[in-house]
Amino acid sequence: MPADPTTPKGAATRARLLAVAADVFAEKGYAATSFSELIASSGLTKGAFYFYFPSKAALAAAVIEDQERRWTDSVRERVTGHDSPTEQLADVMPAMLDLLAERPGAWSAIRLTRELAGTDVLPDPRETRVEPWISLLVGIIRAGQHAGRMRADLDAEEIARVLVAAFDGIKASVDATAPDRRHAELERYTRVLELLALGGLISADPSVPPQHPTETGSTDHQE
């Protein structure tokens, strides 16, 4: 009889199954992976595997939830080690890139989310899944605004949602590239997003909105 998932032994077995499945899904995707292949990779009997995950869909949903939680926890732990909000914000995306390089299985959440978006496998709306990321960024941005290091005229939650959406778009785009080029392209595009975000948020005098030219041109040359 398989160990109850609520016991330490059962929880360890479930975590191992999620890690094995994450590696397989990251390499092959959802459609190209059979449930029998996942069972064989786990080393468990079919009955024991079904005790933890009754279907491939249930397993995929659990992998996404597990990987996204690990991502958020790892990135939060790393960036909150910096003293200033500016340093924290600057390290969010590098921390995510490093995690992808160190844990190939982490890519499974990206592939599965892209493949299964809008299906019954992912019943939770996207907003629910990205909320931890938005919360992390909002906290950093508001701390920077309160410290006078980030522009106070911008809405922290709006900026956070734009950054999360942009990074999601980058991940989905890069997922279609060859695996050996994936990390380099993700790093390149993420660097551009990072520069845009930092350049738009950080200012010598964050309380003063940027000056925009009038429709007829710069104010220095008005008649």
Asked if residue 219 is part of any domain, the answer here is no
Specify the number of domains making up the chain.
1
pLDDT reported for residue 180: 78
CATH of the domain at 148: 1.10.357.10
Alpha helices in 152-178 (DSSP H): 156-174
* DSSP code for 217: B
Asked if residue 137 is part of any domain, the answer here is yes
Asked if residue 223 is part of any domain, the answer here is no
pLDDT reported for residue 8: 82
Asked if residue 83 is part of any domain, the answer here is yes
Decide if 118 contacts 204 (C-beta within 8 A): no
Decide if 86 contacts 144 (C-beta within 8 A): yes
For 54-69, how does the pLDDT look when each residue is reduced to its tens digit (9 = 90+)?
Answer: 999 999 999 988 988 8
Asked if residue 127 is part of any domain, the answer here is yes
Domain span including residue 103 = 8-201
Question: Which segments of the chain have a pLDDT < 70?
Answer: 1-4, 123-128, 203-223
pLDDT reported for residue 128: 65
Decide if 26 contacts 104 (C-beta within 8 A): yes
pLDDT reported for residue 83: 92
pLDDT reported for residue 213: 39
Element (H, E) at 88: helix 85-102
Whole-structure pTM value = 0.76
